[in-house]
A and B are shown apart, each in its own frame.
Chain A
Amino acid sequence: MLSTLQHRWTGFYLLLMALAALSLFLYGYFPIKYHTGQISRRNHLPTSINGVPIDGQQVYNPGETSVILMVIDGLRYDFVTEEYMPFTGQLLKNKSACVYVSVAEPPTVTMPRIKSPERKVEKAQWRRTINFWRDIFAMMTGSISTFADVALNFGAPAVTGDSVLRVAQSRKKKSVMYGDDTWLRLFPGMWAESDGTTSFYVTDYTEVDNNVTRHLDKVLTPDEKNKPTFDFLVFHYLGLDHIGHLEGARSPKIKPKLIEMDEVVKKIYKEMSKWDRTGVLFVCGDHGMRDAGGHGGASSSEVLVPLVVAKTNDYLCPYDNGRGPYVAQVDLAPSIAWLLDSPIPGDSTGRVLPSLLPRDTLQQLYLLHYVAAHNARAVALQLGQTPKEKEFYKQYERAQAQFAHYLTTKQESAAKIAKEFYEQALTEMSKYLTESTVEFDMFAIVSALVVLYAVTVALVCVTLYSLQTEERRRHSVTRHLHRRTQAGALVAFVIVLCVALFTLTVACAISESKSNLCSYDPNWIPVFIAIAAGLTFTFFLIKTAIENDFDLNVLKDLNAIDYLLIGGTVFHAWSFLGTSFIEEEHMTWYFFWNTLMFFVLIRTVVVVVMYLSKKLLGATEVQEKPHLEERMSAGISIMPKWVALIALHRYLRTMNQTGDRWLFLPDTADWLNAPENSDYLQAHVIVGTLLTAVICLRNVKFTNNSMYLQSLLTILSTICIFCYRLASKSVDPTATFIDIQSWDTVDIVNVFWALLIIQTMLEISSFIGLLKPFTGKAGHPNFEPVNNKQFVYIKPKAKTEDYVYGTDDDEPFNCSEVKMNLACSLTHLMYNHMMLIIILLMRPHNVIMVPSIYVTCQLTSECLDHKLLDSRPGRKTEALDVLSRTLAHIWIGYVFFFYQGNSNSLASVDLSAGYVGLRDYCAARVALRMGLHAHAAPAHAGAALLAAAARGRHYTSVSLGSAGCGGLRDYCAARVALRMGLHAHAAAARGRHYQRYLKSLWQISNILALQRVYQVCVYAAIATAFRHHLFVWTVFSPKLLYDFVATVFTAQALFTIVNIILVTNWTNVVAKAVATKSRL
Chain B
Amino acid sequence: MFTLNNQLEMKKITVSSLISCIYLPSIVTVISYKGLLYTVGNGSSFYILVLIFVAEILKAFYLSESNNEAQQKRSKPGKSRASDIVKSFIFLLCVMFCFFVGIILFGAPVLESHEETLMLSALLTLLTVFPLIAHAGVETSMQLLFGVKSYTKDSIFEMLVNNSILTVCGAWLGAVVIPLDWNTPWQQWPIPCYLGALGGYLLSNATNCRRTCLGTCRLRVAATSRSVLRRRTRLYSDIYVSQNRFRVLARETELPATSV
Query: Would you give the shortest CB distance from B126 to chain A, in whole angstroms?
Result: 20
- Indicate whether A659 reaches chain B with its CB closer than 8 angstroms: yes
Please, which residue of chain A has its CB at the minimum distance from the CB of B181? A580
Given contacts A591-B175, A606-B147, contact A579 B181 (CB under 8 A): yes
Question: With contacts A598-B102, A647-B105, A650-B104 known, is A606 near B146, CB below 8 A?
Answer: yes
Complex CA–CA separation, A578 to B147 (angstroms): 39
Q: Which residues of B contact A609 (CB under 8 A)?
A: 146-148
Known: A598-B102, A654-B110. A584 touches B179 (CB 8 A): yes
Residues on B with C-beta less than 8 A from A654 are 110
The answer to whether A610 touches B147, judged by C-beta atoms less than 8 angstroms apart, is yes
Question: A649 — which chain B residues lie within 8 A by C-beta?
Answer: 105
Beyond A581-B179, A587-B179, A595-B172, whether A650 also contacts B148 by CB under 8 A is: no
| B1 on the A face (CB < 8 A) | no
Residues of B within 8 A of A613 (CB): 143, 146, 148
Q: Is A282 an interface residue (CB 8 A)?
A: no
What 15 additional pairs, Cβ within 8 angstroms, besides A580-B181, A610-B146, A613-B146?
A580-B179, A581-B180, A588-B179, A590-B107, A591-B107, A594-B105, A594-B106, A594-B107, A595-B172, A598-B102, A606-B147, A610-B147, A610-B148, A613-B143, A647-B105
Residues of A within 8 A of B104 (CB): 650
Contacts of B181 in A (CB 8 A): 579-580, 583, 660-661
A687 within 8 A of B: no
Residue numbers in B under 8 Å from A583 (CB-CB): 179, 181
The interface of chain B, by Cβ under 8 A from chain A, is 102, 104-107, 110, 143, 146-148, 172, 175-176, 178-182
Residues of chain A within 8 A (CB-CB) of B175 are: 591
B105 near A650 (CB under 8 angstroms)? yes
Docked pose: A588 CA to B106 CA in angstroms = 12
- Which chain A residue lies CB-closest to B106? A594
> What chain B residues lie within 8 Å of A590 (beta carbons)?
107
Residue of A nearest to B107 (CB): A590
Flag if B110 contacts A650 (CB, 8 Å): yes
Closest chain A CB from B147 CB (angstroms)? 5
Report B5 CB to chain A, min CB distance, Å. 25
Residues from chain A with a CB closer than 8 A to the CB of B182 are 580
CB distance from A227 to the nearest CB of B (A): 51
Known A605-B146, A609-B146, A610-B147; contact A598-B180, beta-carbon cutoff 8 A: no
Please determine whether A578 and B102 come into contact, CB atoms closer than 8 angstroms: no
| Interface positions of A (Cβ within 8 A of B) | 578-581, 583-584, 587-588, 590-591, 594-595, 598, 605-606, 609-610, 613, 646-647, 649-650, 653-654, 659-661
Query: Chain B's nearest CB lies how many Å from the CB of A592?
Result: 11
**Closest residue of chain B to A294, judged by CB?**
B183
Q: Which chain A residues border B147 with CB–CB below 8 Å?
A: 606, 609-610
Q: How far is the CA of A1044 from the CA of B145 in the complex (A)?
A: 46
CA distance A688 to B124 in the complex (A): 38
25 A–B pairs (Cβ distance < 8 Å), ordered by A? A578-B180, A580-B179, A581-B179, A583-B179, A583-B181, A587-B179, A588-B179, A590-B107, A591-B176, A594-B105, A594-B106, A595-B172, A598-B102, A598-B106, A605-B146, A606-B146, A606-B147, A609-B147, A613-B143, A613-B146, A613-B148, A646-B105, A650-B104, A650-B110, A659-B179
Whether A580 and B146, one on each chain, are in contact in the complex, defined by CB atoms closer than 8 angstroms, is no
- Give the docked Cα–Cα distance between A581 and B179 (Å): 7
- Once the chains are docked, how many angstroms separate the CA of A256 from the CA of B71? 79
Chain B contacts for A610, CB-based, 8 A: 146-148
Which residues in B have their C-beta under 8 angstroms from that of A606? 146-147
A422 to B38, CA, bound (A): 63
- Contact partners of A580 in chain B: CB under 8 A: 179-182
Chain B residue nearest to A609 (CB atoms) is B146
Identify the closest chain B residue to A613 (Cβ). Answer: B148
Give the Cβ gap from B86 to chain A, nearest Cβ, in Å: 23
A839 to B143, CA, bound (A): 47
Report the separation of the CA atoms of residues A661 and B188 in the bound assembly, to the nearest whole angstrom.
Answer: 13
Contact residues in B for A587 (Cβ distance below 8 Å): 178-179
**In the assembled complex, how far is the CB of residue A438 from the closest CB belonging to chain B, in whole angstroms?**
26
In the complex, what residue of chain A is closest to B111 when comparing beta carbons? A654
Q: How far is the CB of A296 from chain B (nearest CB, A)?
A: 10
- In the assembled complex, which residues on chain A have CB atoms less than 8 Å from the CB atom of B180? 578, 580-581
Q: How far is the CB of B100 from chain A (nearest CB, A)?
A: 13
CB distance from B153 to the nearest CB of A (A): 18
Who on chain B is nearest to A588 by CB? B179
Answer whether A653 and B107 are a contact pair too, CB < 8 Å, given A578-B180, A598-B102, A659-B179: yes
Bound complex: CA A584 to CA B105 (Å): 19
Nearest to A654 among chain B residues (CB) is: B110
Q: Which residue of A lies closest to B102 (CB)?
A: A598
Query: Which residues of A lie under 8 Å from residue B143 when comparing CB positions?
Result: 613
A584 to B176 Cα, complex, angstroms: 11
B166 to chain A, nearest CB (A): 16
A587 to B189 alpha-carbon distance, docked (Å): 14
Cα–Cα distance between A598 and B107 once the two chains are bound (Å): 12
Q: Please name the residue on chain B nearest to A296 by beta carbon.
A: B181
Contact partners of A595 in chain B: CB under 8 A? 172
Q: How far is the CA of A974 from the CA of B86 in the complex (A)?
A: 59
- On chain A, the residues within 8 Å of B107 by CB distance are 590-591, 594, 650, 653
Nearest A-chain residue to B146, judged by Cβ: A609
Closest to A653 in B: B107
Q: Give the interface centre of A581, A591, A605 by most chain B CB atoms within 10 Å.
A: A591
Determine how close the nearest CB of chain B comes to the CB of A660; give it in whole angstroms.
Answer: 7
Tell me the minimal C-beta distance from A856 to chain B in angstroms. Answer: 15
**B106, B180, B181, most chain A CB atoms within 10 A:** B181
Question: How many angstroms between the C-alpha atoms of A650 and B102 in the bound complex?
Answer: 11
**Complex: A653 Cα to B110 Cα, angstroms:** 11
Bound complex: CA of A654 vs CA of B147, how far in Å?
34
Cα distance A566–B179 when bound, in Å?
23
Residue of A at shortest CB range from B148? A613
What is the distance, in angstroms, from B183's C-beta to the closest C-beta of chain A? 9
Closest Cβ neighbor of B187 among chain A residues: A661
Chain B residues within an 8 Å CB radius of A647: 105
Q: How many Å lie between the Cα of A584 and that of B148 in the bound state?
A: 40
A269–B179 CA distance with the chains assembled, in angstroms: 49
Measured in the bound complex, the distance between the Cα atoms of B183 and A660 in whole Å is 13
Whole-angstrom distance between the alpha carbons of A1055 and B31 in the complex? 60
Give complex CA distance A610, B150 in Å: 11
Q: Which residue of A lies closest to B142 (CB)?
A: A609
> How many angstroms from the CA of A606 to the CA of B144 in the assembled complex?
11
- Residues of chain B within 8 A of A578, CB atoms compared: 180
Chain B's closest residue to A651 (CB) is B110
Docked-complex contact B179 and A661, CB < 8 angstroms = yes
Report Cα–Cα, A594/B106, bound state, in Å.
6
Give Cα A654 to B105, complex, Å. 11
Q: Which 4 A-B pairs give the minimum distances between C-beta atoms?
A: A584-B179, A609-B146, A587-B179, A580-B180
Tell me the minimal C-beta distance from B236 to chain A in angstroms: 49
| Distance between Cα atoms of A358 and B110 in the complex (Å) | 68
CA separation between A429 and B248, bound complex, in Å? Answer: 91
Q: Which residue of B lies closest to A581 (CB)?
A: B179
The smallest C-beta distance from B109 to any residue of chain A, in angstroms, reads 9
Residues of B within 8 A of A659 (CB): 179
Query: Which residues of B are found within 8 Å of A579, using beta-carbon distances?
Result: 181
In the complex, A598→B168 CA distance in Å? 12
Chain A: which residue is nearest B168 at the CB level? Answer: A598
In the complex the two chains form, what is the Cα distance from A661 to B181 in whole Å?
A: 8
How far is B147's CA from A591's CA once the two chains are assembled, in angstroms?
Answer: 26
Cα separation A1013 to B143 with both chains bound (whole Å): 46
Question: In the complex, which residues of chain A have a beta carbon less than 8 angstroms from the beta carbon of B172?
Answer: 595
Q: List the B residue with the shortest CB-CB distance to A607.
A: B147
CA distance A595 to B175 in the complex (A): 12
Separation of A1026 and B17 alpha carbons in the complex (Å): 45
> Once the chains are docked, how many angstroms separate the CA of A666 from the CA of B257?
65
Interface centre among B102, B179, B180, B181 (most CB of A within 10 A): B179
A335 to chain B, nearest CB (A): 38
Interchain CA distance A415-B32 in the complex, whole Å: 74
CB distance from B91 to the nearest CB of A (A): 15
By CB atoms of chain A within 10 A, which of B107, B143, B172 has the most?
B107
- Which residues of chain B have C-beta atoms less than 8 A from A605's C-beta? 146
